[in-house]
Chain A
Amino acid sequence: MSNSRPVDAMFTRRALVAGGVGAAMFSGLIARLFQLQVLDRERYELAAAENGVKLELAPPRRGRILDRFGRPLATHRRAGRVYIVREQAGDVGAVLKQVARYIDLSPERQEAIIYETRRQASFRPVIVVSELSYEDFATLSLVAPELPGLLVEMAPTRSYPRGRDFAHVLGYVGKANGDYIFNEAYEALSTSRPPALERALASEFARIRLSASRRAEFYESHPADSSDLRAFEQVYRDVSGLLLHRDMRVGRLGVEARAESYLRGEAGFRRLETNAAGRIIRELPSDDLAPKPGKDLSLTVDADLQKITIDRFGEESGAAVVMDVTNGDILAFVSTPAFDPNDFVNGISQSDYDMLRNNDRSPLYHKAYDGTYPPGSTFKMIVGIAGLESGVTTPEERVTCNGRYRFGNNTWHCWRPKGHGPVNLHDAMKGSCDVYFYEMAKRIGIEKIASLAEEFGLGRDWELGLTGGRAGTVPNDAWKRERTGEPWYQGETLNVGIGQGQLAASPLQLAIMTARIATMGRSVNPRIIGLGPEVEASVPEMKAVDPAIMNRIRDSMFAVTSEPGGTALASGELHVDGLRMAGKTGTAQVRRISEAERRSGILGGEDLERRLRDHALFVAYAPHDAPKYAISVVVEHGEGGSTTAAPIARDILSAALAMDSARQANYMAASHSGDTEPDSGTV
């Protein structure tokens, strides 16, 4: 019955047409499929490969800081760390409450974190806990996927394995603050970078905006035109992009700060495969973009000697510098008590910082480098040399000391009330007679003393390549006129003659002075960076001093420790092979003892409270006949150089000799072999 009606024939005809058109349309689809999958395959394969790849800024690994034998003083390790990102977390407080269910997180700490996330740009991770225990890390890693904005990872951390030992030398690293970023961007403005890195940085961190105040600041210093500003903003974004990275730390003090560019290295990128939601699936090979690690830096110090020195001080507060007299290498550079630089890496709490700042033994203060003290009797070598050099006296001339010295209308006292009797230079040094040196100072005059003091290293800010350093004071007429507008009085010269008055020197300077005496007046220049950035310092050569004079002085210093009547006789013998040191005791007056007190019998010491007691000083070199090490020791409020400082110096010198601290250094070049811990990729 089919096709019996005309309509059936028409339907069949048209049905075939419709089917044909449909088949043609489907064939078109297949043709398109062929075009995409076969003809253009390569193009889309490439696109697919690039699709899931995200470049993430990778901060460079900071170079280590080693001692002269390659022992790490500052290194890196990995620590489990939690961050929170406000942008992803939404309600930061709620997420933190969740976190507090798994780990110990006080409500106060939660408040502080919330405050910090508000302060930072919303996409910046803020540290919740900087160092997690293994258990906490495992727990949080498990639950992190369910807590929005929570980032749990093994983060590289700067670590100071020797703790407090090198606090003042190394300083510490910390997060860069706004001023730091601004200054670095400012300095970087003139130097160019590779364009590829520039582009990547720009796109990654385009959201960082220069604040209005910074903008205004820059306008004021650069009124020229706004293209300058744009260029600067670009650089600022790059710099802040790196410096604000959660794993990035910059040197804030000490060698860490001054050797920043040497230690830092260059930032790179990591290729991360991400899914459409941005979640990281895995890390792809990124060796071609890898950050360049910073170079290792070697100090001249001997970490063991440093530790022995600190331990020897015990509870005392003070400073000590041990130097190799042959080349100026600083072997120990101690200021004690100290802080632990590890506490600063992830930010120290305000209360901890206040405790350090309010401690009356000033742990934050670098006493060996920034501290200046009246050198006291340790200055008498300079006056002795000046006396012989200027010809105002002879080694044999005797000056009679009856305990006091009259000049003009005033009386100056010897530390020994009953006096030393008639003393020549040798005796005066041995017994540290003040009257002899009052007389000599008066004869020599301040200008000659001052210039010789400078020859021996005082009054100069020695550049070592770490932050700080003070010049101290070597006063003279010009100095006083400039300071007070008044001329120099000869009476003041007498005070300088025994190392008091305006005279002030750092323990470092006293060590330099001692080293130069020990080497018969060679220009021993200190250095603490053995292998690292160039330290710019132009130090004039010393003028030659008559060896006969230097021998006299050295003999007298030997007498101090080794002849009957020597002020440090008890400490002269070292613990090594019967070797002896040569040295000089000193007392730095913290305040003048008034006549009233003198009459009532208060001569200092036990009678005064600690903060008013004198500082004890001792400088020495050893062995006395073939000097190798020079040392200066300051014990704050230690009272007597002979009783407190000299034994410390003796023990430290003994240790240095026993360990042969000055032996050939083994500066490690910037190779990372034998590293403390290997770096891994993302966690």
Chain B
Amino acid sequence: MASSLSFTRRSFLRQVSELPWGLILLLCAMAVIGLVVLYSSTFTNPAEAGLPLRQAIRLVIALIVLIIAALFPLRLWLYLAWPAYFATLFMLVLVEFFGASGGGAERWLSIPGLVRVQPSEFMKVTLTLALAAYYHKRWHDFSGGFSIHLPALLLIMAPALLIFRQPDFGTTLALIASGGVLIFLAGLYKRVILTVGVLAIASIPTVYIFVLKDYQRERVDTYLAQLTGETVNVMDDGYQIEQARIAIGSGGMFGKGYMQGIQAQLDYIPEQHTDFILTVLAEEFGFVTTTAVLLMWMLILGLGMLIGMRSTSLFGRFAAFGAMATISFYIFFNVAMVLGLLPVVGVPLPLLSYGGTVMLTTAICFGLVCAVHLAKDEALNNA
């Protein structure tokens, strides 16, 4: 087993050649689409002129990060899973006490002049690794019982609670959702799943009244109001959703043409180059192209899950599925939010939205999937 930790020049090249290049090329294509749309959305605003170039530079860096992560042996990923998880959890605790504000919530941890990190974003990856490592170790006593799943639940809830307190509703939800997927894959009893589901739905009013902060409640209110079709208060969230829908709806089947989107070019939609980038795509390219982009994402995610299913090791399986679940929820929450199906929770669209954090998460997630692919025949038995 030790041999797998040492590289030779030959094995390195073989590893590179064995990377899932189809998947990587699809990701690169998606990134190029993102750049094209981003250019259109920032074109009319002189203050945003430099953004496409910066995004392009980040994409190149992200690709390098992806390759490095892919070539990182899966066994090392496994070894580092626990330290990474607890380190991130510790950082979340630090945020609780020393966090820096950004956009109404304390999410950032910064050592002035050196680094500025958002531990909640790391947690998406490290939680996946921890859960994968956990179930990998407990493979022999897999059962639907609580005894095995309760620690997993604790692993999820500890960071979820901390992140919820920041408060960051979107990330909390994403964390619970993708963690929940892994618990489901690990074989939790169906009746337990049903019970939890019913309880969760039943608890919504309680959460709404006692747990949510005012601004979060407002978002939910806005969401409920627009679902029923009424025009909500024009400023703030309601405005954003309304403008987004107008942009998307007016795009029609084939769109208004590149750089021709009235909504997009006239800066009607706040955050249109970040969280609401899909509105630009939908307005200028129309239903057909937007659907194609979503199908392309489904293909990418499907390839990632296929890699997971082909993995011999349970760690590989859980890690790949956890990574794909994380990306899936990013995309689902973002698109559902932009289309007015979910409240505005502030989730970006991977590879399309402008921004560095989500790109790093995406690169690491897919790097992990590639690592699983390279180690698909290793059992990683720690016995």
Binding site for B on A (CB under 8 A): 1-2, 5-7, 10-12, 14-15, 17-19, 22-23, 25-26, 28-30, 32-34, 36-38, 40-41, 43-45, 47-48, 51-52, 273-277, 281
Asked if A18 contacts B321 (CB within 8 A), the reply is yes
- 9-residue interface stretch from B7-15, B84-92, B164-172, B308-316: B308-316
Asked if A40 contacts B185 (CB within 8 A), the reply is no
| A15 to B325 alpha-carbon distance, docked (Å) | 11
| A1 to B181 alpha-carbon distance, docked (Å) | 24
Q: In the assembled complex, how far is the CB of residue B50 from the closest CB belonging to chain A, in whole angstroms?
A: 19
Inter-chain residue pair count (beta carbon < 8 A)? 135
Task: Type the 1/0 row for B172-207, where 1 means its CB is closer than 8 Å to any CB of A.
Answer: 000000000100111100000000000000000000
Asked if B184 contacts A14 (CB within 8 A), the reply is yes
B362: CB under 8 A from chain A?
Answer: no
Name the one of A15, A22, A51 contacting B309, with C-beta atoms under 8 angstroms. A15
Asked if A43 contacts B249 (CB within 8 A), the reply is yes
B336: CB under 8 A from chain A?
Answer: yes
A32/B339 contact (C-beta < 8 A), A18-B184, A45-B250, A47-B250 known: yes
Name the one of B245, B267, B302 contacting A276, with C-beta atoms under 8 angstroms. B267
A-B contact pairs, 8 of them (CB 8 A): A14-B187, A15-B185, A23-B302, A26-B331, A36-B339, A37-B249, A47-B250, A48-B247
Asked if A29 contacts B332 (CB within 8 A), the reply is yes
Asked if B246 contacts A51 (CB within 8 A), the reply is yes
In chain B, positions 325-350 with a C-beta closer than 8 Å to chain A are: 325, 328, 331-332, 335-336, 339-341
Asked if A275 contacts B249 (CB within 8 A), the reply is no
B286: CB under 8 A from chain A?
Answer: yes
A33/B339 contact (C-beta < 8 A), A22-B328, A38-B287, A281-B266 known: yes
Asked if A5 contacts B310 (CB within 8 A), the reply is no
B290: CB under 8 A from chain A?
Answer: yes
Which B residue sits closest to A34, measured CB to CB? B287
Asked if B139 contacts A40 (CB within 8 A), the reply is no
Task: Type the 1/0 row for B257-287, where 1 means its CB is closer than 8 Å to any CB of A.
Answer: 0000011001111100000000000100011
Q: In the assembled complex, how far is the CB of residue B335 from the closest CB belonging to chain A, in whole angstroms?
A: 5
Asked if A33 contacts B267 (CB within 8 A), the reply is no
Which A residue sits closest to B250, measured CB to CB? A48
Q: In the assembled complex, how far is the CB of residue A276 from the closest CB belonging to chain B, in whole angstroms?
A: 5
B252: CB under 8 A from chain A?
Answer: yes
Residues of A within 8 A of B332 (CB): 22, 25-26, 29
Q: In the assembled complex, how far is the CB of residue A681 from the closest CB belonging to chain B, in whole angstroms?
A: 19
Task: Type the 1/0 row for B53-75, where 1 means its CB is closer than 8 Å to any CB of A.
Answer: 00000000000000000000000
Name the one of B142, B325, B335 contacting A10, with C-beta atoms under 8 angstroms. B142
| A34 to B248 alpha-carbon distance, docked (Å) | 10
Residues of A within 8 A of B309 (CB): 11-12, 15
B317: CB under 8 A from chain A?
Answer: yes
Name the one of B184, B266, B294, B302 contacting A275, with C-beta atoms under 8 angstroms. B266
Residues of B within 8 A of A281 (CB): 266
Asked if A36 contacts B248 (CB within 8 A), the reply is yes
Q: In the assembled complex, how far is the CB of residue B22 from the closest CB belonging to chain A, in whole angstroms?
A: 18
Q: Which of B250, B317, B335 has the most CB of A within 10 A?
A: B250
B251: CB under 8 A from chain A?
Answer: yes
Asked if B317 contacts A11 (CB within 8 A), the reply is yes
| A40 to B282 alpha-carbon distance, docked (Å) | 14
Q: In the assembled complex, how far is the CB of residue B378 from the closest CB belonging to chain A, in whole angstroms?
A: 11
B370: CB under 8 A from chain A?
Answer: no
Task: Type the 1/0 row for B278-310, where 1 means its CB is closer than 8 Å to any CB of A.
Answer: 000010001100110011011001100100111
| A319 to B309 alpha-carbon distance, docked (Å) | 108
Q: In the assembled complex, how far is the CB of residue B366 from the closest CB belonging to chain A, in whole angstroms?
A: 16
Residues of A within 8 A of B298 (CB): 22-23, 26
